[in-house]
Structure formats: C-alpha cells, structure tokens
Amino acid sequence: MCQTQRLAGHVEEQLLERNRVCEEFFSREAGRLAFACREMAERFLKGGRLLAFGRGPYSTDAQHVSVEFVHPVIVGKRALPALDLSAAFSAWIETLLRPEDMVMGFGPPEGDPDVQTALDWAQSRHAMTFALPGSRGSYAVEPATDHPFIHQEVIEILYHTLWETVHVFFEHRELGHDVGESAFLYPFLGQEKQSTTGVLEQVEESIRMKVADDARLRWQTAREAAGPISDATEAIRERVLAGGKLILFGNGGSATDANDFALDCVLPPAGYRPVPAVSLSLEPANITAIANDVGAEVIFLRQLIAQALPNDVAVAISTSGGSRNVIATLEEARKRGLATVALLGYDGGEVLRRGLADFPLVVRSDYIPRIQEVQASVYHIIRESLESCLDA
C-alpha cells in the first residue's frame, strides 16, 4: 500500500523543487528571451509563421504552441500564424519554410539529433530557430535540469513567455502606444509611445515577475493540494493494478496537456514502466465527426461511452472547470462507476460545485498560462509518484 502521508510530502517537495529550477533558469534567460521576442514580433509583422515540432511527448509542446498563437487566451489578441508539424517535421519544413519564418524544435533534456538537424537546415535558410533544448540556433538553451518532466515544464513557461511578450512587442511596434488587453501584464507601457529598445529591460523584469507568480502559485498548491494529489495518485494506482486505464480529455491547451499526460504514461522516460492511458483529445477524426454530426458538447462523451471499462479512471483537465463537454463526460463517467479526477483552475468552477470529480485538484488562479504551468507540474508529479506507488 502506498503510504499517503509519505506521498503527500513527496508531492510538496517536488512542487517546491520546480520553483528552484525555474527561478534559476529564468534569472539567466530573461534578457535573451526579451530580445528573442522582439525579433519574433518583427518576423510576424513581415508575414513570418511559427513552425513547431517534436517527437513523442514533446510533440504536445508543438501542439500547445500552435493553439496558443492561433487561438490566444487573452480576448482581443489577434491570431498569429503557427503550425504543429510534428507528424513529418523534416519533410514539412523543407516544403513549407520561408526565410521570414520561425522554427521551434522540442526534445528531451539530452536533445534530439533529428530535431537539431531540421533546425540547422532551417537556420541555413535564414529562418529564426529555437532549439529547446540544443546547442545551436538563433535561440538555443541548455536544459535547466536532466529531469525530463521538470525540463518540459520549464520549456512550457518559456514558450508561454514568448507568446505573452510577442503580443506586447507586436502591438507596441505596430500601434505605437495601445497595448490593448496586454496592459495588465505590462503596465509600464502605458499610453505613451516608446521605442522597443527602451522596453526591453522592462520586459525582462516582467518575465522574472511572471516566474515569481508561478512560484507563489506552486507554493500555494503545495500547501493546499499535496494531500488531494497523493489521494488521487493512490486511487489511480488501485485502478491500474486492477486492470484499468486512464482516460484523459480537455480542450485547447488542456487538450495538449491531456495528450502529454497520456504519452508520459505509455511512452515514459527511461526508468519508468508504461501505464495504460488514452487521450480522447488525441483523436481529431472522432472529435470533428462528432462535433459536425452531433455537437461539440459530446465530443468526449461519445468517445468515453465507447472506451470506458469499469476499472478505468476519467481524468479531466480544464482551466475553467466549466466546459460543457468536460462536465458531460464527467457525469457519464460517474454513472459508469469510473473514478474521476479533475485538474482545475480558477475556483474549480462547475465541476467542483457539482461534485463531479472524486478528486478535484484546483490550481487557484485566474490567469490561464499560470494555471496550465502548475497543472503540468501536478500531473507530472502524479505520473512520477505513481511509479513508486506501483512498487508498493
């Protein structure tokens, strides 16, 4: 039996360890990130696109980048062109690349030689390249840690920072003074026209402030949710040992997190054993068929009905806790006797108020990128804690 008290202590310890790694990394990288964001804004204004790719779990980072730039979570921000090319990245890069484009490659802490080769080719054609991680590129970073899950969480904060800051530079350069709904993130821009050179130092400081906000949110989650996270892990352990699987689902950025969690289970890092899991968000043909023929509210519900078995665990990921297709699927899961886990943001939303999850894990923030960053820490810690629990 996994000792819940010991596991709760491990959860808290791991959340706080992530704070240390992130703060050290971004204290070094904030200045370079600000410059990179300014160049990205200039390339977008010239018609450039962001082309992202990775393999295995790192393909979900490319998915996340694409949805963040094309469908920004801040209302009123314009869509910026981005594509996830993970399925055949070398061929697509060679076919689609233009000199004004930006190319972003993701991989494990030790890097991915094929990803680096594609980035090198793109840079030779004058594209801006991001090696995440890597030793060569317009912006290349050495990994902050060799821990695969923490590494991926650091990289998620990095590309969220790029997305947030590109919008600031993009609008500042184009409009001169009006930063729209980004003003609450960057109040120093105000209403007076400034050169972007003068903004760089202030943007650099704002990046450090966002990481500090992340750290406070992880600390709060460690204090409030370490016990519930360990309880959820124990419940998942019991179901998996009884022959069950995880069934994951979510929308948008939460869909990419559901996909990542599922891939971390079935295609784990070295030293971890596979755990049965599927992501309903990783089924575009099913999703589009159901949405077209019936409606978006049942895109996960219909799939759950087809896939669920008695010992399974339904795992919903939602920043709002109010998505109707998530609520409908959790309702069905409860009817079928599945264990239900929900990673939520804000105040837990309708999922928490209606008691639709046996294990609601709430990251109490009202800003979606920060919620998603800490939710990634939570499900990664569940995954690594599950490993030790399966031995218990």
Q: Which residue's structure tokens are 């003068």?
A: 198
Helix (H) or strand (E) holding 339: strand 339-344
Among 3-7, 202-206, 372-376, the range with the most confident prediction by mean pLDDT is: 372-376
Nearest 5 degrees, angle CA 229-CA 231-CA 233?
70
Give 199's contacts (C-beta < 8 A, 6+ positions apart).
168, 169, 172, 188, 189
The rounded percent of the chain whose pLDDT value lies above 90 is 83
Top CATH class of 219-391 equals alpha beta
pLDDT in tens, 325-381: 999 999 999 999 999 999 999 999 999 999 999 999 999 999 999 999 999 999 999
Q: Which of 271, 242, 279, 270 is nearest to 379 (CA)?
A: 279
Fold held by 17-213: Rossmann fold (3.40.50)
In terms of Cα–Cα distance, which of 343, 373, 14, 379 is closest to 158? 373
Predicted local distance difference test score (pLDDT) of residue 4:
67
Q: How confident is the model at residue 195 (pLDDT cuts 50, 70, 90)?
A: low
Report the chain's mean pLDDT, rounded to a whole number. 91
Reported confidence tier of residue 191, pLDDT bands at 50, 70, 90: very low
- Tokens coding 63: 């998915």
Sort 198 into a burial class: Cβ within 10 Å, 0-12 / 13-18 / 19+.
Answer: exposed
Question: Do the domains at 17-213 and 219-391 have one common CATH topology?
Answer: yes
Report the pLDDT value the prediction gives residue 173, as an integer from 0 to 100: 58
Distance linking the first and last C-alpha atoms of the chain: 5
Least confident of 23-27, 294-298, 335-339, 387-391: 387-391
Q: Name the pTM for this structure.
A: 0.92
For residue range 246-270, what is the model confidence (pLDDT) as tens digits?
999 999 999 999 999 999 999 999 9
Q: How do the domains of the chain map onto residue ranges?
A: 17-213, 219-391
Residues 151 and 158: beta-carbon distance below 8 Å: no
Which position has the token pair 């990130």? 33
DSSP assignment of 43-71 equals HHHTT--EEEE-SGGGHHHHHHHHHHHHS
Residue 193, pLDDT above cutoff 60: no
17 vs 11: CA distance, rounded Å: 10
> What is the structure's pLDDT at 199?
77
Q: Under DSSP, is residue 133 helix (H, G, I), strand (E, B) or coil?
A: coil
Q: In this structure, what is the dihedral angle of CA atoms 137, 141, 147, 149, given to the nearest 10 degrees?
A: -70
SS3 call for 255: helix
pLDDT of residue 185: 46
**Residue 68: is its pLDDT beyond 70?**
yes
- Alpha-carbon distance of 228 to 358, in angstroms, equals 10
> What is the predicted pLDDT for the residue at 134?
97
Determine the Cα–Cα distance for residues 210 and 205; give it in Å rounded to an integer: 9
User: Which residue shows structure tokens 């009202």?
Assistant: 366
Asked if the model's pLDDT at residue 243 lies above 50, the reply is yes
Beta carbons within 10 angstroms of residue 169's beta carbon? 24
Q: Where are the alpha helices (DSSP H) in 336-367?
A: 349-353
SS3 assignment, position 279: strand
Give the pLDDT mean for 136-164. Answer: 96
Sign of CA dihedral 53, 286, 277, 253: positive
The answer to whether residues 67 and 252 touch, using CB atoms and an 8 Å cutoff, is: yes
Q: Which residue has the tokens 């998505």?
A: 323
